[in-house]
Structure 1
Amino acid sequence: MDATLQDPLLGRMLDGRYRVEQRVAVGGMATVYRGVDVRLDRVVALKVMHPGFAADPDFVQRFIREAKAVARLSHPNVVGVYDQGEDHTSVPPAVFLAMEFVPGWTLRDLLRDRGALSPRTTLDILEPVLAALGAAHRAGLVHRDVKPENVLLTEDGRVKVADFGLVRAVNGQTAATTQQVMGTVSYLAPEQIESGAADPRSDVYACGVMLYEMLTGSKPHTGESPMQVIFQHLSVDVPPPSALVPGLAPQLDAITRAATARDASGRPADAVELLAELQRARREMTPAQLDAEPPAGHAAATGLGVGPGADVSSATALLPPPVERTSVMDPAMLRELPADLVMPRRERPEPPPVALTRRQRGVRRPRWVLPAGVVVVLALLVAGLTWALNGGLYTRMPSVLRVPQAQAVQTLEHDGFTVSLTQDFSGSVPKGTVISTNPGPGARVRKDADVSVDVSKGPQRPTVPSVAGKSVADATAALQQAGLAVSGQQQQQTSSTVPAGAVIGTSPAAGQQVAPQTVVTLVVSSGAQPVPLPDVTGETLDQATSDLQSAGFQVALNPTQIYSDQDAGTVAQMNPPAGQAAQGATITLTMSKGQQQVTVPDVTGMTEKDATKALKQAGFKVRSLGFTLFGSTTVRSETPGGNSQAAMGSTVTIWLY
């Protein structure tokens, strides 16, 4: 007889409100039904705990607490939790969750049907998954059971993360006992296997495994038994997807490697950071890389993307710009899949994390004992493997940070490590103590591993370089290159040896060791101290040279002579002029050719006005003498006489009558 016909919950009303209509899936801890909330007249998913777990009060209380925590998480890519309740009309009572009903199929169904996916399709699915997990991580929650079975692909093109039933608060107890080892082996992070501890980086690891599986169509770690898979998680790195699917973009290899680092400290801190890296990789990839088809044997599911009218699930509800919106699936994909892959029609039970048959156990036990027994066996196997690895070839790297060098070396060599030392400056770690080690503290390493220890030389104290004689620009560049700052204010100082505008020195002085980014003031030359400069115009060249040199100046002679009022052969001009000049400055002397001689115009017979005009145009000054009794006056004579030679600028006297 069909198992669904024997299900006693079908047709029942839970808590007087939820009518159970159809069984959807069976998991390790609960069965999921399609139901109707008769009070609100809406379809819901009812997750009913198996009787064996429902009979455990501690498990039920934890289930309720964690359901409340997830109910507070509101995100478009998370399957919402509406209600939690117990129905006491049966024995034992039915403990259940009322959740958002998501018609569609799981990522596991898609991978089983299609095999490897194209990079674009992979990103379209994984980005909203990370947006959902990122919202949980930033709310202080860890999923702990991320796998394709818990990623739902809806009929209207959305991606939803389901089954937060294993979720734990980050600030709560996260280490599992033998009764609490949970999660599917293929997606467990090494730290979950070794100690049961989980944090957001454990979810990141599972997402990295899913990324590999979507790109290649297969899981990175496989084996004939769970123990073989566990051993690979602990000792073998996840290979790059391109090793199985050549031609994949290198960005996808890099993200897979980072997300699945065996050391949790090497992974992105949470799903938010992994989402940002994934979206950055999408922007860097070409359309050809995004739509690359897997080779034969790795058939790709293509055609996924942002379809017209699709409900775009966005990471922008979680992240600030420039993080891009996440993509979703095209609803048209639903029409391409077999009808039995649509969730309401699926009766395929979900496998428990690790299942042992009753025949293997060799004894018939109550149904509720089976899951607990499986967990105990798995925990014992894990404990045995961990003991063998840690007690045999491997150990944990001790922390020697901020420990004096000699003590650190002694500790590490006592543990069997080979130590090599390096030194570096540090402003926060005291001199002579350990800054860091490679491998880092807590890392799982071989007992005979080589360990690099970086020891502090104390804070770096740069030496002020000598910049004397340099220009201000060159001196500034030299000081900044030495790790120092340069003051915007300069000190001016006279100098008889350093040209004006050049650097004389610095404050602090060159050669001093100072703290990084110490402000250094430049001392800049304003030239030599000014001294009196005697006036030597009118003197002979020899006399002028002697007077200037006696005053401490240098003398230069201008080869060009000029006309001047000074006598020919004497100094007509000096540059700079008499007054003050820098001591030792060079004074240029220009010698006189005497006054320039020009021809005096003959203005006799002209009126006074015309004669004056003609003489001035020729470069002379005019003096008029004479008298008139009546009528107009004319020039009767001039001195010097007309057409004679006279010094330009001299005075010509005209006689009028």
Structure 2
Amino acid sequence: MEAQAEVPRPPTLLRVDVTLQDPLIGRVLDGRYRVEQRIAVGGMATVYRGVDTRLDRVVALKVMHPGFAADPEFVERFIREAKAVAKLSHPNVVGVFDQGEDHTAAPPVVFLAMEYVPGWTLRDLLRDRGALSPRTALDILEPVLAALGAAHRAGLVHRDVKPENVLLTEDGRVKVADFGLVRAVNGQTAATTQQVMGTVSYLAPEQIERGAADPRTDVYACGVLLYEMLTGAKPHTGESPMHVIYQHLSTDVPPPSERVPGLAEQLDAITLASTSRDASRRPADAVELLAALQHIRRGLTPAQLDAEPGTPGPQGSPTTVLPPVERTSIMDPALLRELPADFVMPRHEEPERPPVVRRRRGGRPRWVLPTGVVLVLAVLLAGLTWALNGGLYTSVPGVLGEPQQTAMQTLQHAGFTVQVTQDFSATVPKGSVIGTDPGPGAHVRKDATVTVDVSKGAQRPTVPTLAGKSVDDAIKALQQAGLAVGSRQQQGDATIPAGSVVGTDPAAGTQVAANTPVNLIISSGPQPVDLPDVTGESIDQATSDLQQAGFQVRIAPDQVFSDQDAGTVASMSPPAGQSQQGVTVTLTISKGQQQATVPDVTGLSEKDAQRKLKQAGFKVRSLGFSLFGTPTVHSQNPGGNGQAALGSTVTIWVY
């Protein structure tokens, strides 16, 4: 069965993120589950919010404490939880997706991957609100019993039902979590160790005495849960766990109305029946308790269901404690007929006859005037009550999580005009209701307009087109699209300038989950190619060679003297070697060698001749010899006062 609870959100609920210095934060378990945030710490395990990187979904990761991971018994319990819950397919049970171990780093990790349920626990709600109205308490307990009933009919017992294991989602659903103590029901139901498992405030007497566990132990815990929701307090308290255990064994759970006067007697009856110290007097399992609870609910008036905690109910009479009833199943129709009337419906007693009022002689009775005033006020009050509760006003039905068409039919059947809006939601399936305005339970006119906010599914941003953008602009565009920046890769590209974005991975236009990392492919510019050496070639030849190699050619406007022949390439820029394809090569043309006048050095000493020629820009070569006296130049080539290339060699003969 599908159970939808109308549960108020605690206005002052505070969650604290304590992930500093946690070695698991950021670690990827079993190559698949990335640990992101710690959300709860228990006695055996710590629960983290994580991401299944393979399926791209948020999960809850329940990681066994390292001290227990080395204990085969605790590891077996972890695996047993995964297998047990995997057998259940129920909307009010927190699902288990996977179980695994990770030994890639120390310490090794044993974990469960479970359904992530955003919201809060029943303990958070009780801590913030205290006692709840009967309607709210039943809205929460019924889906809990539905979940446990599915487990009981599958042959499983939870054994640790408590407010901490009842999760209230943001869209009004109720989920039962932590089947870590679950055990199959068979001939041997006692615990195999001397320790009593479970939380002491919710343990049935047979669990304490013998460690025995069957569906009726879960029924007992649900009865304690109902008492706590109706009264805001536990039925048995003490200074130590042993004191609480003693009360479980020796003292019956009191009727809730002793603490909250005015509660309906039927709620006392169902609480006492489910928390009987004699297990045989309780409902046989959660299915029977749920059926009895729904039967009782149908017999309660709206005033009884919506009575504020701590205020007298409409009957205002003290609670009647029920006598013991011999029964084997609370849902046996014959036994239901034998139950006290106040177990399934309000007790009706014969009204007392009004006292005889004597008239005063010679006048009207004393009670006429005050009675008339009371009657007028009663009529006005009745009219106002009719207008507010049944005539002109009604409550908005709870349709959170329902398909759009079903929700609209429910609201229109209740007399409302329906408007539809749409929004993205990471938790509510596409086409289902995220919320309503006014909200569920709001007291409004019957002809009011209710706006239904329908989920468009999880928002999936599109990877923007980033080709040609700078890296900084690309990062800004990704962040504005709700995506993360991944790695950066270099790639040569002749059309995109170096340092600009060539493309992305995933490609532009791809729809992905929010915050998905997008890798940037950045241009390193065109690939380098060989630039041929055209120095000494004619202009036409050099231009042809460069263009065939894929380069542009430019001729420098000024020519220069060089060793190259006049009209040929004297130099090129960039020089020959490796260069980017397509660049422009500038060619400088030679005017040939520069000419200068050769000095006449004949008759000079060898030393003076060499100095004079070098000063004129020539190189000198001396030939000849002299045995006596100072050698002098007798001839030279080229001859004096003639023209020769500047920097060329002049040969002199001396003797």
TM range (shorter): 0.3 to 0.5
TM-score by length of 1: 0.46
Structure having greater relative contact order (Cα 8 Å, sep ≥ 6): 1
TM-score by length of 2: 0.46
